[in-house]
Structure 1
Amino acid sequence: MTSVHHRYLEVDGQRLFYREAGPKDAPAIVLLHGFPTSSYMFRELIPRLAGRYRVIAPDLLGFGLSDSPSVQEFDYTFDALAELTDGLLQAIGVDEYAIYVQDYGAPIGWRLALRDSAPVTAIVTQNGNGYDAGFVEGFWQVVWDYQQEQNEKTETAVRWALTVDGIKWQYVTGVADETVVSPDTWHHDLQKMARPGNDLVQLKLFRDYATNPALYPKLHEFLRTAQIPVLAVWGENDPIFAPAGAQAFATDVPDAEIHLLDGGHFLLESHLEEAGDLITKFLDRYLSPR
């Protein structure tokens, strides 16, 4: 059994937590989590990949076990979170890597892929959008309304996503048997969301999410030009990102592998075996595992 190491590193004055496993000389894969979770979502996947790959799973600033400075102390944007992530990877000597992106991890991953150094070798997207297709209006309209105008009504509506009911909803909606999803997941996330001032961090990121679709044309050009290997493994019952978001990747990468599984937003909680098998086979085809 490969050991998983739990480490901290200071990057630009911020203390970031990350999980690391696998041989340092093996091809690297960086696991990028979404809202409202952390690298905790990869706790079962990391050991499956670590025998053949160097696996890095950071907690974004404001999430998990990383620092959570106030919005007065740090300007939370997806650009800034991507910069910190890049800084961490450079500091530990990871300059070329595949990415697994989910939810917020997707816009972080796209920014890394679009850097001048073009370090990304392959993409696994698990319910991580890169196209206008796939946004489920029932969820996103609340966010869009808040982005357009911040007032008591729009803020109250979007704050539901920070409650225990809102977080649990993300985990269990679309899962045929919700008893397979451990309550540890949403309670773990809730504890971190409840840190003093973290609600304002999350509200700031809800507003800044508007910058992500504007990045999509550059992403699409990159995908068309690089023809980088893409695996879209998707919970087809996701109430946030619909299957059209997965299928859209074939627009620019005709050979993209697209798999829709009978799960929800956090697919690893209900379909670890199936998703893990698809991910491992995909990486083995396109990288040179140890």
Structure 2
Amino acid sequence: MHAPVTHRTIDVDGIQTFYREAGPPDAPVFLLPHGYPCSSYEFRDLMPALGDRWRLLAPDLPGFGYSAAPEGFSWTFDGYADFLERFTHVMGLSRYALYLHDYGSQFGLRLALRAPERVAALVIQNGDIYEDVMGPKYAMLRAYWSDPTPEGRAKLAANVSEEGFRDEFVGDLPAHLAERVSPDLWKLHWSLMDTPGRRENVVTLFEDQATTLDWFAKEQQYLRENRPPTLIVWGPHDGYMPEESARAYLRDLPDAELHVLDAGHWALETSLGEIVPLVRDFLGRVHTS
């Protein structure tokens, strides 16, 4: 049942954009924007497991993975949301389910706010929009946002390193889960990010992340007013987004289907076998055309 995954590059407003695709071209679309510090590689195993029934598209966002990092790009959450919207237009996507994870949840939700009629369903996996239940690992970011000093910025920049990437992928996991995560994950992405320009762009994005707090209320309102069919699969071993961050969605989506797994922030790395049947069953009920 595993579908082949193709690897292509497309021009999006002058940006050479690498993307992965699986599934029939006329199948219902499942759009997969990735998180930090990853790329479309995040979805390399999910895509073939769903590509028999859905068309899955996972772009590398500018400055990540194999996509270009052009001068003049806006290294902000607004800039990435604009890019994702343009990607959907260039690819001719009129309706899609969205996978919302990490930074990709912000880009995806802003896309949903701009065109709610195009969103068939949401799959939310460790992507938070509730400020009151943010985890303790946000402390350094929030300290910088409230007092943006050069010393604080240097601390942020120090995390853009191979060791910092390793901590993002396995730092919060208990041993029985950490050993399932291949070092390829952080070594690959560090090798692709390790240029002065790309590292600086990421720090700029860290700084701009403060603006996402003002979007939370709009995103919550979108959920309340539109009630998109929603599956929540969550890894609670997450210093940024603990279990409370998942349950907070039920304030605005009381009918959402919630599954808390023995997993962390990068649940697809450790718990794919649990997530695939949940997603297949959910999309099979709500996103078939």
Give the TM-score band, short-chain normalised.
Answer: over 0.9
Match of 2:166 in 1: 168
1:27 and 2:25 matched: no
Task: Give the Cα separation in 1 of the matches to 2:50 and 2:190.
Answer: 28
State the secondary structure of the residue aligned to 2:129. coil
Identity of aligned residues (%): 38
1:190 and 2:193 matched: no
Task: Give the Cα separation in 2 of the matches to 1:170 and 1:239.
Answer: 10
Task: Give the Cα separation in 1 of the matches to 2:259 and 2:18.
Answer: 31
Equivalences for 1:235-254 in 2 at 5 Å? 235-254=235-254
What is the identity, as a one-letter code, of the residue corresponding to 1:250?
A: L
Q: How far apart are residue 254 of structure 1 and its match? A: 0.8
Unaligned runs of 5+ in 2: none
CA contact (8 A) 1:133 1:248 kept: no
Task: Give the Cα separation in 1 of the matches to 2:267 and 2:242.
Answer: 13
CA contact (8 A) 1:127 1:265 kept: yes
State the secondary structure of the residue aligned to 2:61. coil
Q: How far apart are residue 190 of structure 1 and its match? A: 0.8
Cα deviation code 1:218-246 (max 9, x no counterpart): 11121111111111111111111111111
Alpha carbons of 1:160 and 1:241: their partners in 2 closer, same or farther (altered >3 Å)? farther
Task: Give the Cα separation in 2 of the matches to 1:192 and 1:108.
Answer: 21
Task: Give the Cα separation in 2 of the matches to 1:100 and 1:133.
Answer: 23
1:216 and 2:216 matched: yes
Per mean C-alpha deviation after superposition, the further-off stretch among 243-252 and 145-154 is 145-154
CA contact (8 A) 1:175 1:262 kept: no
1:158 to 156, 159, 169: 156
Per mean C-alpha deviation after superposition, the further-off stretch among 243-252 and 125-134 is 125-134
CA contact (8 A) 1:82 1:108 kept: yes
TM-score scaled by length of structure 1: 0.94
What is the identity, as a one-letter code, of the residue corresponding to 1:219?
A: E
Task: Give the Cα separation in 2 of the matches to 1:129 and 1:63.
Answer: 21
Q: How far apart are residue 189 of structure 1 and its match? A: 1.3
Q: How far apart are residue 117 of structure 1 and its match? A: 5.6
Equivalences for 1:30-49 in 2 at 5 Å? 30-49=31-50
Match of 2:87 in 1: 88
CA contact (8 A) 1:17 1:65 kept: yes
Alpha carbons of 1:161 and 1:258: their partners in 2 closer, same or farther (altered >3 Å)? farther
Q: How far apart are residue 150 of structure 1 and its match? A: 3.5
Match of 2:104 in 1: 105
Q: How far apart are residue 251 of structure 1 and its match? A: 0.7
Q: How many residues align?
A: 286
TM-score scaled by length of structure 2: 0.94
Alpha carbons of 1:133 and 1:150: their partners in 2 closer, same or farther (altered >3 Å)? closer
Task: Give the Cα separation in 1 of the matches to 2:197 and 2:100.
Answer: 26
Q: How far apart are residue 61 of structure 1 and its match? A: 0.9
Task: Give the Cα separation in 2 of the matches to 1:255 and 1:160.
Answer: 42
Alpha carbons of 1:13 and 1:197: their partners in 2 closer, same or farther (altered >3 Å)? same
State the secondary structure of the residue aligned to 1:104. helix
CA contact (8 A) 2:235 2:261 kept: yes
What is the identity, as a one-letter code, of the residue corresponding to 2:276?
A: G
Match of 2:113 in 1: 114
**RMSD over equivalenced CA pairs, Å:** 1.5
Q: How far apart are residue 278 of structure 1 and its match? A: 1.3
Task: Give the Cα separation in 1 of the matches to 2:264 and 2:40.
Answer: 18
